[in-house]
Each structure stands twice: as C-alpha cells, then as structure tokens.
Amino acid sequence: MSVQVSNLSFGYPGQPEVLKDINFTIPEGILVSLLGPNGAGKSTLMKCMLGLMRHYRGDIVLDGVDIRNLTPKQMARKTAYIPQSAEGVFNYTVEEMVLMGTTSLLSGLNSPGKKEEETVLSALRKLHIDHLRYRRYMNLSGGERQLVMIARALAQNTRILYMDEPAANLDYGNQIRVMEEIRSLIREGYTVFQTTHNPDQAFLYSDRIMALAEGKIIAYGTPQEVITPDLIRRLYHIETEIERLHDDRIRICIPASVLEGVKTDEQRVN
Amino acid sequence: MRKPKHSPGLKLMIMGICLIGIFLFSLLLGRYAVPFADVLRILASVVIPVTKTWSNLAENMVLLVRVPRICTAVLVGASLSVAGASYQCIFSNPMAAPDLLGASTSAGFGAALAILLGCSSFVVTGWAFTASMLCLLLVLFIARLGKGSVTLNLILAGIMISSLFQAGTSYLKLIADPNNTLPEITYWLMGSLSGMTMKELGYVWIPITIGMVPIFMVRWQMNLLTIDDMEARTMGVSTSRIRVLVIICSTLLTAAAVSVSGIIGWVGLVIPHIARRISGNDCRYLIPASALLGGSFLLLVDDLARNLYSTELPLGIITAVIGAPFFIWLMIRERIS
C-alpha cells in the first residue's frame, strides 16, 4: 500500500501556512523517518496524512484513493497511528488497551468479542509481549507501554503505520528493542512512517529520510544520500561530522563541538 | 500474570442475583408485615392465576405501595450510577458526577418553583424534569459559543448555569412560606422516594429507557473517549458525535432520576468507583455493573430511609453519611495496597 502526497499545503485558520507545497511518495514496505526541528510542521504533516485535518490544499492518496473520500472508519482500516505512550486516566488492562485497536474492524456499534480477542493475542505474540496480556497498562515500564501501543496499531490490521517518535522517552535498551521490532515489521511488508529527532537512529534503521524545515521538504532519499553535515546544519543549526563504520555500512553523526572538546580536554589532561 | 479468576460476565451475574435478592427482601420490609410466601404468591398472581390466600390489604401493600417504590429506587439508583460512570468517561475524569453539568440543581429549581406555585407532586416532577432538560440545552448552547476545548467549555458552562439555578432556588426558598412550602422544598431537595405510586413509575421508566439504551449500545466506544481524542479518531471513532450522544443520554437519566426522587448525591460518584474495582475500567462491563450496583445500593438506602425511624429519613443524607466514609476508606485502602 503506497502513500502519495501532492501539492499539500496547510495552515491553521488565520495563521501563516505550516506546510507549503509538499510532494512525496512512500513506496510499500519501507521505513521512512521524518527529521526536522521543533515547529517544522512534522506533527501537522502526520495529522494531515492521518485524515485528522480538514481544509488542507492538495491531495493525499492512499492506494489510489483520495483520503477525503474515506470515512473515519475506512481510514482507520488503512492506516494506524502509534503515539508516544502516555499516562491515561483509567488503568485499562493491556488486553483492553489493544482491543481498542480492533474498533474499526467491528461493524456498526458492536463490541469486540472472541474473534477480536484472538487478533489481540496474535498482535501481542508478534511483539513477544503476550505475557503482559492481563497486566495493567499504567503499571508497565515505558518500553513495554510503547510495545503495547504498537500492538494496538497491529490489531487494527492496517499495512501502514504512522509513529510519533516511538523511541523517545525510552532508555537505551528499550529504544533498540522497539526499533528492532519495527524493523521486523518492515520485513513483513508493513510500511512505516515515523517522526524522529535522532539522526543516528534514522541512519541505523531507516530506508528513507525525509527532512522537513519551515514547512518544506528540503531532502528526501536514502540516509547515505540525505544526511550530511550540511543538512544537519540547516535543520538544527549545529556543526557535525559524519563517521563511516564497518566499510560504510553504518554511519553516525558526531557533533563538532564534542570533537573539539575532546582535543582541548586531551591538551588539558596532558 | 494469570488470567483473572472470575470472568466479568460471572461477576455481572452475581450482581444481578444480589439485586433480585435485595428486591425480594425489600418487599418484606415495612410496618405492615406480609409473610415471604405471601409476597411471592402475590407477585406470581400478577402473571399466573394463584388461589388467593392473602388479604386485600396485603395485596395492596405489596403491589401498590412497595413495588412501585422499590422499582423506582432501583431505576433511580441505576440511572444515577450509569450517568456518573458515563460522565467519568466523557470527561476523562474519575471525579465527574452526574450533576456536573447542572442537571440536579436545575431540577431542584424547577421543583421548588412548582412547589411554590402549589402544584401537585406529579406536576412538581414534570417541572423538575423540564428545568433539567432546559439546563442541558443552555449548557450545550453556551459551550458551543466558547472557543477552545469543548470539554472544558461544557464543564465551565455547567458550573455557571448550575450556580445560577442554585441562586434561583435560594431566592425561591427565601420567599417561600416557612410554614408549609419552605419545608416541602427543603425536604424535596434532600431526596426522598416516599409516596411513589404506579403513576410515577409508569412515566419515569420512559426517559430512563430512552437514556439507558443508547449508552448500552455505545459502551465499547465510550472506552475510546477516555484516551486521547486524536488517537481515538485514528481508530475510526467519531468522538465528538459519541460524546454529545452520551452527554444527552446521561443527562436525561439524571434528570429523570432526580425529578422523581429529589437530589441524591454520592450515588453517581461512589457506585461507579466500586464498579470499577469489581469489574475493571472496560465500559462493556463497567456500565452494566454500575447499573446493577447502583440499583441495589439505592434500594438498600431507601430501605433504611423508610424503616430506620418512625418518620422517613431523606435519602440524600443517608447516601452522604454512607458514601463519604466509604470513599475515604477506599482511598486509604488503595494507599496501603
């Protein structure tokens, strides 16, 4: 299932445009990371693509269908959204939480039953968290909660997943675990579009990088092509050097200030 | 963690059996003693022919005095609890109660006005209900005018309108005759089910059914109102539509309940909390559990109200006296565990 965005512009009423003439296509089965500074319009772009915004100009097309022609329920059968795990008011069990994802699959105002519970169980198994089934969501660790959020989206039975910084607020180990699970979803054919603040993570896990600044896409391509010291300077106004490891199979960003700091520290210590 | 020991369906069934038990027990209570066997026979005689072995007085006592009162108590308790549980979901706030949007205070004003004008108790009920519905319309209208979060606007509009009606009631009490209408108003505001007849019951079940059925139908979707609105919409739920529907229905329930019983606090707050502890937060089970527990609770409270002293005690006082300490106990127990 592919996503096509053409000539997309959006502004909140009475305010300057947040997104300006955006064009891109996301092919099936890849992980695209959206990089951009705070306020660049990342979440607005994602909201538009999820069909949560009205009054945008241009077209967003899912598998040949303009999303304007889809009801919320039809939309929810095509795309799922994975938020950053947050505190809720009522402490639902993991099973109940993930069952919520099946709502769009129910006809009319029906309640989920045995069939949906099976869907939930297989989503939990896929992410290796079926042992959490009867635990309460808010009693889980941050990493477990994030996996539950992903399971909820899987239970929605869509092929496209939108994620809002899935690894933010997680400790290092959980970040890696969550990203590994996302990678294995890509291998199964899911299409994932995520926002991130971390260029290294984009390097390590993404197939494509999209860079958004001041409401415009300034770069879109493979991490090797797109992530350059120049781009990082334009996005975040800091100087970086890019190191190539393992015969350039892996790249990482190192802030220039750190490299200089290391030199002066060496001189001071010696 | 293992699967919970008892399924939610089983728990609901036990609550239902308890309600039936309390219902039958309540039929025995009262100054005029009717033996249990006679009570059962009298009840059965309504549907199937049974040889009459009881006095007319016993029959009237059970069918025309106790049954309407007991049924009303169950309906009122269930309505207030379901309305409370629904409000808690809509406003994602465990402290929300059925009177949040002014449904009770406005009903109080309507009733006070009708009592002042010398209307019969049946007309008083009608006025209370009308005032309560009028208040809902006002709150919805004002909330639409405001900018920003609809939920917040609703709560603010509810507080404002509620305080206006409160002021109106105070004024009516000020000008009421302290020898007859003032005590009547005061007593109404404290809540009571005394003097319930088949006539009241014959009317009150209608708005209660109209309010209850849609809530039961959308109760799964109500779960999604408690999480972030944007997330719920990406799961295909039209949150604003369901929210308005549930607000209207639960206010209808509150208005219907309060207009027959007067103002009864605490039930709509305490019962949903107990229901949450027993059957969890999933509204599929929470809503029926609230209805069953609320019905049982108010019925027991009404039993106390009519049997504890020779004169009737107001329900609002008993629910507060039981509700507040119970709530404190729940809070402390939670902290310890």
Instruction: For residue B182, give the amino acid letter.
Output: L
How many angstroms away from the CA of A54 is the closest CA of chain B?
13
Question: Which 214-233 residues of chain B touch chain A by CB within 8 A?
Answer: 217-221, 223-224, 226-228, 230-233
How many CB atoms sit inside 10 A of residue A61's CB?
Answer: 16
Which sequence spans correspond to the domains of chain A?
Answer: 1-78+158-222, 88-155
Q: Taking CB atoms and an 8 Å cutoff, what residues of chain B touch A112?
A: 220
Q: Taking CB atoms and an 8 Å cutoff, what residues of chain A touch B230?
A: 47, 52, 81, 83
| Residues facing residue A164 across a β-bridge | A195
Q: How confident is the model at residue B147 (pLDDT cuts 50, 70, 90)?
A: confident
Domain at B256, CATH number: 1.10.3470.10
In a domain, B64, yes or no: no
Per-residue b or e along B125-141, where b marks 16 or more CB atoms closer than 10 Å to that residue's CB: bbbbbbbbbbbbebbbe
Q: How confident is the model at residue B336 (pLDDT cuts 50, 70, 90)?
A: low
A156 touches chain B (CB under 8 A): yes
**How many Å apart are CA B309 and CA B311, to the nearest integer?**
5
Nearest to B247 by CA among B109, B103, B78, B145: B103
Quick one: pLDDT at residue A247? 81
Question: Where do the H-state alpha helices sit in chain A?
Answer: 42-49, 72-76, 94-99, 114-126, 142-155, 172-187, 199-205, 223-226, 229-236, 256-269
In a domain, B194, yes or no: yes
In a domain, B19, yes or no: no
Question: Which of A52, A131, A135 has the CB atom closest to B230's CB atom?
Answer: A52
- A89–B233 CB contact, under 8 Å: no
- B1–A133 CB contact, under 8 Å: yes
Residue-averaged pLDDT of chain B: 91
In a domain, B55, yes or no: no
What is the strand order of the sheet A160-164 is part of?
A: A79-82, A160-164, A191-196, A31-35, A208-213, A216-221
A161 touches chain B (CB under 8 A): no
Q: Taking CB atoms and an 8 Å cutoff, what residues of chain A touch B285?
A: none
In a domain, B305, yes or no: yes
Per-residue b or e along B281-292, where b marks 16 or more CB atoms closer than 10 Å to that residue's CB: bbbbbbbbbbbb
pLDDT < 50 regions, chain A: none
Neighbouring residues of B55: CB distance < 8 A, sequence distance ≥ 6: none
pLDDT tens digits for range B34-60: 888 999 999 999 888 888 888 889 999
CATH T-level fold of A1-78+158-222:
Rossmann fold (3.40.50)
Neighbouring residues of A158: CB distance < 8 A, sequence distance ≥ 6: A76, A77, A78, A79, A80
B5 touches chain A (CB under 8 A): no
Interface contacts A/B by beta carbons within 8 Å: 85
**How many Å apart are CA B323 and CA B326, to the nearest integer?**
5
User: Distances in Å between the alpha carbon of A112 and those of A117, A150, A256, B222, B291?
Assistant: 7, 19, 54, 13, 21
Range of the structural domain that residue B276 is part of: 71-336
Number of domains in chain B: 1
User: Distances in Å between the alpha carbon of B69 and those of B36, B196, B197, B212?
Assistant: 18, 5, 7, 20
In a domain, B227, yes or no: yes
- A76–B236 CB contact, under 8 Å: yes
User: Distances in Å between the alpha carbon of B154 and those of A44, A263, B42?
Assistant: 27, 61, 48
Q: Taking CB atoms and an 8 Å cutoff, what residues of chain A touch B3?
A: 134
Quick one: pLDDT at residue A255? 87
Nearest to A171 by CA among A202, A144, A139: A144
Q: How confident is the model at residue B337 (pLDDT cuts 50, 70, 90)?
A: low
Q: How confident is the model at residue B2 (pLDDT cuts 50, 70, 90)?
A: low
Quick one: pLDDT at residue B14? 96
- B226–A110 CB contact, under 8 Å: no
Question: Which of B2, B228, B238 has the CB atom closest to A83's CB atom?
Answer: B228
Q: Do B220 and B143 touch, CB atoms closer than 8 A?
A: no
In a domain, B22, yes or no: no
Mutate to test the interface with B, among A62, A70, A100, A117 (most CBs of B within 10 A): A100
Question: Which of B230, B232, B280 has the CB atom closest to A93's CB atom?
Answer: B280
Q: Taking CB atoms and an 8 Å cutoff, what residues of chain B touch A81?
A: 230-231, 234
Q: Which residue of A has its CA nearest to B226?
A: A89
In a domain, B54, yes or no: no
Q: Who has greater pLDDT, A108 or B98? A: B98
Quick one: pLDDT at residue A249? 79
B306 touches chain A (CB under 8 A): no
pLDDT exceeds cutoff 80 at B329: yes
